[in-house]
Chain A
Protein backbone atom coordinates (compact mmCIF):
# COMPACT_ATOMS: atom_id res chain seq x y z
CA UNK A 1 0.00 0.00 0.00
CA UNK A 2 2.83 2.37 0.92
CA UNK A 3 4.63 1.50 -2.32
CA UNK A 4 1.51 2.27 -4.37
CA UNK A 5 1.04 5.56 -2.52
CA UNK A 6 4.69 6.45 -3.05
CA UNK A 7 4.43 5.67 -6.78
CA UNK A 8 1.41 7.98 -7.03
CA UNK A 9 3.17 10.76 -5.11
CA UNK A 10 6.38 10.49 -7.14
CA UNK A 11 4.36 10.46 -10.38
CA UNK A 12 2.49 13.67 -9.52
CA UNK A 13 5.56 15.54 -8.28
CA UNK A 14 7.66 14.42 -11.27
CA UNK A 15 4.97 15.52 -13.74
CA UNK A 16 4.67 18.86 -11.94
CA UNK A 17 8.41 19.48 -12.01
CA UNK A 18 8.49 18.50 -15.70
CA UNK A 19 5.79 21.06 -16.49
CA UNK A 20 7.65 23.74 -14.54
CA UNK A 21 10.86 22.99 -16.47
CA UNK A 22 8.86 23.21 -19.73
CA UNK A 23 7.62 26.62 -18.54
CA UNK A 24 11.14 27.83 -17.93
CA UNK A 25 12.31 26.62 -21.36
CA UNK A 26 9.27 28.28 -22.96
CA UNK A 27 9.99 31.59 -21.25
CA UNK A 28 13.53 31.37 -22.54
CA UNK A 29 12.84 30.25 -26.12
CA UNK A 30 9.59 31.84 -27.25
CA UNK A 31 9.83 35.01 -29.35
CA UNK A 32 7.42 37.61 -27.89
CA UNK A 33 5.45 38.55 -24.77
CA UNK A 34 2.19 36.86 -25.73
CA UNK A 35 3.64 33.43 -26.46
CA UNK A 36 5.67 33.71 -23.27
CA UNK A 37 2.55 34.63 -21.28
CA UNK A 38 0.85 31.62 -22.83
CA UNK A 39 3.69 29.34 -21.67
CA UNK A 40 3.93 30.90 -18.22
CA UNK A 41 0.26 31.00 -17.33
CA UNK A 42 -0.77 27.60 -18.65
CA UNK A 43 1.98 25.10 -17.93
CA UNK A 44 3.22 26.73 -14.73
CA UNK A 45 -0.30 26.57 -13.29
CA UNK A 46 -0.59 22.89 -14.17
CA UNK A 47 2.90 22.15 -12.82
CA UNK A 48 2.30 23.83 -9.48
CA UNK A 49 -1.07 22.11 -9.18
CA UNK A 50 0.54 18.71 -9.80
CA UNK A 51 3.25 19.36 -7.21
CA UNK A 52 0.60 20.43 -4.69
CA UNK A 53 -1.47 17.31 -5.38
CA UNK A 54 1.67 15.22 -4.75
CA UNK A 55 2.32 17.03 -1.46
CA UNK A 56 -1.32 16.62 -0.43
CA UNK A 57 -1.24 12.88 -1.19
CA UNK A 58 2.03 12.49 0.72
CA UNK A 59 0.63 14.10 3.86
CA UNK A 60 -2.67 12.26 3.52
CA UNK A 61 -1.51 8.73 2.65
CA UNK A 62 1.89 8.57 4.37
CA UNK A 63 1.58 10.91 7.35
CA UNK A 64 -2.16 10.46 7.88
CA UNK A 65 -2.91 14.17 7.97
CA UNK A 66 -5.73 15.52 5.76
CA UNK A 67 -4.67 19.08 4.92
CA UNK A 68 -7.59 20.93 3.35
CA UNK A 69 -5.53 24.09 2.91
CA UNK A 70 -3.55 22.45 0.09
CA UNK A 71 -6.81 21.63 -1.72
CA UNK A 72 -7.87 25.25 -1.27
CA UNK A 73 -4.48 26.32 -2.65
CA UNK A 74 -4.96 24.09 -5.71
CA UNK A 75 -8.39 25.63 -6.36
CA UNK A 76 -6.97 29.12 -5.82
CA UNK A 77 -4.08 28.62 -8.26
CA UNK A 78 -6.42 27.01 -10.79
CA UNK A 79 -8.61 30.13 -10.72
CA UNK A 80 -6.04 32.89 -10.43
CA UNK A 81 -3.12 31.67 -12.58
CA UNK A 82 -4.82 31.94 -16.00
CA UNK A 83 -6.57 35.18 -15.01
CA UNK A 84 -3.22 36.68 -14.07
CA UNK A 85 -1.80 35.73 -17.47
CA UNK A 86 -4.86 37.17 -19.20
CA UNK A 87 -4.65 40.48 -17.36
CA UNK A 88 -0.89 40.82 -17.98
CA UNK A 89 -1.07 40.15 -21.70
CA UNK A 90 -4.17 42.30 -22.19
CA UNK A 91 -2.68 45.27 -20.35
CA UNK A 92 0.56 44.96 -22.29
CA UNK A 93 -1.41 44.85 -25.58
CA UNK A 94 -3.22 48.05 -24.58
CA UNK A 95 0.11 49.58 -23.54
CA UNK A 96 1.35 48.95 -27.11
CA UNK A 97 3.57 45.87 -26.98
CA UNK A 98 3.81 44.55 -30.56
CA UNK A 99 3.26 40.84 -31.29
CA UNK A 100 5.85 38.69 -33.04
CA UNK A 101 6.54 39.69 -36.67
CA UNK A 102 5.10 36.43 -38.05
CA UNK A 103 1.64 37.14 -36.57
CA UNK A 104 -1.05 37.33 -39.25
CA UNK A 105 -4.34 37.51 -37.37
CA UNK A 106 -5.16 40.27 -34.86
CA UNK A 107 -8.78 40.44 -33.70
CA UNK A 108 -8.20 42.67 -30.69
CA UNK A 109 -6.82 45.58 -32.81
CA UNK A 110 -10.19 46.58 -34.28
CA UNK A 111 -11.89 46.21 -30.92
CA UNK A 112 -9.34 48.47 -29.18
CA UNK A 113 -9.71 50.96 -32.06
CA UNK A 114 -13.50 50.96 -31.64
CA UNK A 115 -13.24 51.43 -27.85
CA UNK A 116 -10.81 54.32 -28.29
CA UNK A 117 -13.17 55.97 -30.78
CA UNK A 118 -16.15 55.51 -28.44
CA UNK A 119 -14.35 57.13 -25.53
CA UNK A 120 -12.94 59.87 -27.72
CA UNK A 121 -9.23 59.12 -27.24
CA UNK A 122 -7.13 60.27 -30.24
Chain B
Protein backbone atom coordinates (compact mmCIF):
# COMPACT_ATOMS: atom_id res chain seq x y z
CA UNK B 1 0.00 0.00 0.00
CA UNK B 2 1.40 3.40 -1.01
CA UNK B 3 0.92 6.19 1.51
CA UNK B 4 1.62 9.87 1.65
CA UNK B 5 5.25 10.20 2.79
CA UNK B 6 5.39 13.99 2.83
CA UNK B 7 7.12 14.37 6.21
CA UNK B 8 9.83 11.81 5.44
CA UNK B 9 10.47 13.21 1.98
CA UNK B 10 10.74 16.83 3.07
CA UNK B 11 12.96 15.97 6.04
CA UNK B 12 15.29 13.84 3.95
CA UNK B 13 15.58 16.69 1.43
CA UNK B 14 16.89 18.90 4.23
CA UNK B 15 18.94 16.29 6.09
CA UNK B 16 20.61 15.10 2.86
CA UNK B 17 22.56 18.36 2.62
CA UNK B 18 23.69 18.21 6.27
CA UNK B 19 25.06 14.68 5.80
CA UNK B 20 26.53 15.61 2.40
CA UNK B 21 28.51 18.57 3.70
CA UNK B 22 29.53 16.67 6.82
CA UNK B 23 30.91 13.93 4.55
CA UNK B 24 32.91 16.53 2.59
CA UNK B 25 34.18 18.00 5.87
CA UNK B 26 35.20 14.58 7.20
CA UNK B 27 36.97 13.85 3.90
CA UNK B 28 39.03 17.05 3.91
CA UNK B 29 39.74 16.99 7.66
CA UNK B 30 41.17 13.48 7.47
CA UNK B 31 44.82 14.51 7.40
CA UNK B 32 44.93 16.24 10.78
CA UNK B 33 41.83 15.01 12.67
CA UNK B 34 39.86 11.71 12.69
CA UNK B 35 38.17 11.02 9.38
CA UNK B 36 39.34 10.44 5.84
CA UNK B 37 38.30 8.79 2.62
CA UNK B 38 36.65 5.69 4.02
CA UNK B 39 34.42 7.35 6.61
CA UNK B 40 33.62 10.21 4.26
CA UNK B 41 32.64 7.77 1.53
CA UNK B 42 30.40 5.82 3.89
CA UNK B 43 28.70 9.04 5.05
CA UNK B 44 28.19 10.19 1.45
CA UNK B 45 26.66 6.87 0.46
CA UNK B 46 24.43 6.96 3.57
CA UNK B 47 23.13 10.36 2.40
CA UNK B 48 22.34 8.82 -0.99
CA UNK B 49 20.69 5.81 0.69
CA UNK B 50 18.50 8.21 2.67
CA UNK B 51 17.27 9.71 -0.60
CA UNK B 52 16.68 6.21 -1.99
CA UNK B 53 14.58 5.32 1.09
CA UNK B 54 12.53 8.52 1.00
CA UNK B 55 11.90 8.51 -2.75
CA UNK B 56 12.51 5.73 -5.20
CA UNK B 57 15.49 4.04 -6.83
CA UNK B 58 14.43 5.28 -10.25
CA UNK B 59 13.85 8.85 -9.04
CA UNK B 60 17.29 9.02 -7.43
CA UNK B 61 18.87 7.52 -10.54
CA UNK B 62 17.13 10.25 -12.57
CA UNK B 63 18.32 13.04 -10.23
CA UNK B 64 21.92 11.74 -10.06
CA UNK B 65 22.64 9.90 -13.30
CA UNK B 66 25.84 8.25 -12.07
CA UNK B 67 27.02 4.79 -12.99
CA UNK B 68 28.53 3.64 -9.72
CA UNK B 69 30.59 0.89 -11.35
CA UNK B 70 32.44 3.55 -13.37
CA UNK B 71 32.86 5.53 -10.17
CA UNK B 72 34.57 2.55 -8.52
CA UNK B 73 36.81 2.11 -11.56
CA UNK B 74 37.77 5.80 -11.62
CA UNK B 75 38.60 5.65 -7.91
CA UNK B 76 40.82 2.61 -8.38
CA UNK B 77 42.61 4.22 -11.33
CA UNK B 78 43.13 7.42 -9.32
CA UNK B 79 44.58 5.52 -6.35
CA UNK B 80 46.85 3.42 -8.57
CA UNK B 81 47.94 6.46 -10.58
CA UNK B 82 48.85 8.39 -7.42
CA UNK B 83 50.81 5.41 -6.15
CA UNK B 84 52.56 4.69 -9.46
CA UNK B 85 53.44 8.28 -10.47
CA UNK B 86 56.69 8.53 -8.36
CA UNK B 87 58.15 5.53 -10.21
CA UNK B 88 58.28 7.63 -13.41
CA UNK B 89 60.34 10.39 -11.74
CA UNK B 90 62.78 8.01 -10.09
CA UNK B 91 61.31 7.67 -6.60
CA UNK B 92 60.05 4.49 -4.89
CA UNK B 93 56.48 3.29 -5.34
CA UNK B 94 53.96 5.19 -3.16
CA UNK B 95 56.20 8.18 -2.45
CA UNK B 96 54.01 11.21 -1.68
CA UNK B 97 54.83 14.84 -2.42
CA UNK B 98 53.64 17.94 -0.60
CA UNK B 99 54.31 21.63 -0.67
CA UNK B 100 52.85 24.92 0.54
CA UNK B 101 51.01 27.09 -1.97
CA UNK B 102 49.47 30.53 -1.82
CA UNK B 103 45.99 30.10 -3.23
CA UNK B 104 44.06 33.26 -4.14
CA UNK B 105 41.12 33.00 -1.72
CA UNK B 106 42.19 30.52 0.96
CA UNK B 107 45.73 31.76 1.58
CA UNK B 108 48.62 29.51 2.62
CA UNK B 109 47.58 25.93 1.99
CA UNK B 110 49.44 22.65 2.17
CA UNK B 111 48.61 20.48 -0.81
CA UNK B 112 49.49 16.81 -0.51
CA UNK B 113 49.22 14.01 -3.04
CA UNK B 114 47.86 11.75 -0.27
CA UNK B 115 44.59 13.67 -0.70
CA UNK B 116 44.36 12.32 -4.28
CA UNK B 117 44.83 8.77 -2.98
CA UNK B 118 42.15 9.48 -0.37
CA UNK B 119 39.85 10.75 -3.13
CA UNK B 120 40.34 7.41 -4.86
CA UNK B 121 39.38 5.57 -1.68
CA UNK B 122 36.34 7.85 -1.31
CA UNK B 123 35.11 7.15 -4.85
CA UNK B 124 35.65 3.39 -4.45
CA UNK B 125 33.71 3.29 -1.15
CA UNK B 126 30.77 5.32 -2.51
CA UNK B 127 30.72 3.27 -5.72
CA UNK B 128 30.86 -0.13 -4.04
CA UNK B 129 28.27 0.73 -1.37
CA UNK B 130 25.81 2.20 -3.86
CA UNK B 131 26.31 -0.73 -6.24
CA UNK B 132 25.50 -3.18 -3.43
CA UNK B 133 22.43 -1.21 -2.31
CA UNK B 134 21.10 -0.79 -5.84
CA UNK B 135 21.67 -4.42 -6.77
CA UNK B 136 19.85 -5.64 -3.66
CA UNK B 137 17.16 -2.95 -3.96
CA UNK B 138 15.95 -3.56 -7.51
CA UNK B 139 14.66 -7.11 -7.43
CA UNK B 140 12.38 -6.89 -10.47
Residues of A within 8 A of B (CB): 69, 72, 75-76, 79-80, 83, 86-87, 90, 94, 115-116, 119, 121
Contacts and interface: CB of A to CB of B under 8 A. Distances in A.
A87 B15 CA distance: 15
A80 B3 CA distance: 20
27 contacts: A69-B22, A72-B18, A72-B22, A75-B18, A76-B15, A76-B18, A79-B11, A79-B14, A79-B15, A80-B11, A80-B15, A83-B7, A83-B8, A83-B11, A86-B7, A87-B7, A87-B8, A90-B3, A94-B1, A94-B3, A115-B1, A115-B3, A115-B4, A116-B1, A119-B1, A119-B2, A121-B1
Nearest to B29: A69
Contacts, number: 27
Nearest to B11: A83
B79 to A, nearest CB: 28
Interface residues of B, number: 11
Contacts of A80: 11, 15
Interface of B: 1-4, 7-8, 11, 14-15, 18, 22
A80 B18 CA distance: 11
A87 B6 CA distance: 11
Contacts of B8: 83, 87
Contacts of A90: 3
A90 B15 CA distance: 20
Contacts of B2: 119
Nearest to A75: B18
Given A94-B1, A115-B3, A119-B2, 9 more contacts: A72-B22, A76-B18, A79-B15, A80-B11, A83-B11, A86-B7, A87-B7, A116-B1, A121-B1
